[in-house]
Chains A and B, each alone.
Chain A
Amino acid sequence: MSDVQLIQGNEACVRGALAVGCRFYAGYPITPSSEIAEQMVRLLPGIGGVFIQMEDEIASLASIIGASIAGTKAMTATSGPGFSLMQEHIGFATMAEVPCVIVNVMRGGPSTGLPTSPSQGDVMQARWGTHGDHPAIVLAPSSVGEVFDATVRAFNLSERFRTPVIVLYDEIVGHTRESVALPDSVEIVDRIQPNSDGSEFWPKRAAADGVPPMSAFGDGHRFHITGLTHGERGFPTNDPQVAEALITRLHRKVEAHAEEIIEVEVFMMDDAETAIFAYGIVGRSAREAVLRARADGVKVGLIRPLTLWPFPYAQVAEAAKQVDTLVVAEMNLGQLIGEVERAAVGQAEIVGYLRVDGEPITPTALLNVVASVSGGQA
């Protein structure tokens, strides 16, 4: 581990990306993500990497998709309005199976909204923002240290599954500085290369786990990449069986490995009668609220997903069986609360604590909610 330093979330994102081998960044600066671009432009050239400020966010994502196809680990970072512009190419990267990492530091929306205030309003956009049926991997760190880990993990998952991975955190996590010691080295996963035995290369013929090996442009294989529905040879087709096989495989390669992808912090749930479901910065308010309520003898626990998509339905269902009430706290008007209801299927009362004024949800506020639902003073 390196020495303890005071580091901002956005800075930890850059450190994680560089540690795991990111050598290409293209982006268009936007608050509250701009520090990522600022650090990348300083650090990448000195280690043989490339930084490009593109004309907009559409071009930014196009550019990192190209870099990834050429064999380089690549990322971009943005916030609400820019994330909206990136949706088209998130779909392309999903369909063409191009590994890449997109960081969205959430601010208040819609539109340009509250540029300097936190929000969790893009949670459903991260899942469903691009059109068509598609899988999504979305990670939600809640601290500076977790931003580092999530960025590393995002690259590794994107390489492992050949799909774009989104790191989603809010302005507070992005801008807060915390004392952390970051690891000197990290686990690095690289995309599977095709056999070099001279056999014919079909760019979309998947291995048993649903993930096709990936050759880089320039490595010697000739192949075609398209956003159109395509067969194992990579060329467009309208064949219904091929279409179904492709879309099914794109989903299966992620969903069949959900256990490998999903991370959830389960805290003080053993005897809990009430649980708080919260993520990102709100997850830390909730943990503090749990500790304070426990000190007063109130039996409260925490379910904090670090992976938002695939959604941890099994973990939430298990919690719902156990507790009387599940409090869902989000800085939006109710986005993941719908998924919690789907998972709970009526087994616990679901109570939302939702805030969209650009101010954080504090431990004190959650303590009051817990007190009111548990029928006593917390």
Chain B
Amino acid sequence: MSRNEIRIAGTGGQGVVTAGRILAEAAILSGGEATHSQVYGPQSRGGASRSDVVIATEPIGFPLADNIDLLIILSAAAYAKYVPDFDPDGQLIIDSRCAPESMNGDAARFAVVDTARAISGGHLVTGVVALGVLQAHTGVVDADVLERAVAARVPTQHRKMNLDALCAGMQLAGG
């Protein structure tokens, strides 16, 4: 069976938990199995936040991430916490503001946070921009399925902004 473990790590308020949930829902829409788990501190904004998604072709035994295949870093604090111990064979995607270019030469860098700010005026859609980057960069789920999952999860009044964010993320990664 194939098992793919993806961690999205950032700051409370970036939509990291929602992004993980959308990714898991997209995997289910594609006919696969998925789990989503979240770790957060007592505060809902400003603290470290992460979202782990396991995607598999068969029922998932252990539902948490145990050996991350793909790590997406959306804050400097998340970089400091998760990158040093990250498996060098894994795939790393870093927001370009989070670490100097001289570090982690193999990592893919994208202006996720800046793009989200340009679209929403703040951090709200950072997680969804990251999903767009993830899709175009790895193809872990199909673009149209991810779009459906975003549209189904976000509030109606914010649907257009989120779909714009997804599209912008895909374009950042050349999709």
Contacts and interface: CB of A to CB of B under 8 A. Distances in A.
Contacts of B63: 143, 172, 176, 178, 281, 284
Contacts of A179: 24, 27-28, 32-35, 60
B67 interface: yes
Contacts of A362: 62, 64, 66
Interface string A334-378: 000000000000000000000000001011100000000000000
Interface in A272-289: 281, 284-285, 287-288
Interface string B12-36: 0000000001001101100011111
B37 A288 contact: no
Main secondary structure of the interface of B (DSSP, over half): mixed
A213 interface: no
A291 B3 CA distance: 15
B64 A5 contact: no
B61 A5 contact: no
Contacts of B139: none
Contacts of A115: 42
Interface string A1-39: 000111000000000000000000000000100000000
Contacts of A143: 63
A360 B64 contact: yes
Most chain B CB inside 10 Å of its own CB: which residue of A176, A284, A287, A291: A176
A363 B38 CA distance: 18
Most chain A CB inside 10 Å of its own CB: which residue of B34, B39, B63, B64: B63
Interface size class of B (residues with CB under 8 A): 20 to 34
Interface size class of A (residues with CB under 8 A): 20 to 34
A116 B40 contact: yes
Interface of B: 21, 24-25, 27-28, 32-42, 60-64, 66-67
25 contacts: A5-B28, A6-B24, A6-B25, A31-B42, A172-B63, A175-B37, A176-B64, A177-B21, A177-B24, A177-B37, A178-B36, A178-B63, A179-B28, A179-B35, A179-B60, A281-B64, A284-B61, A284-B62, A285-B62, A287-B61, A288-B61, A288-B62, A288-B66, A362-B64, A364-B66
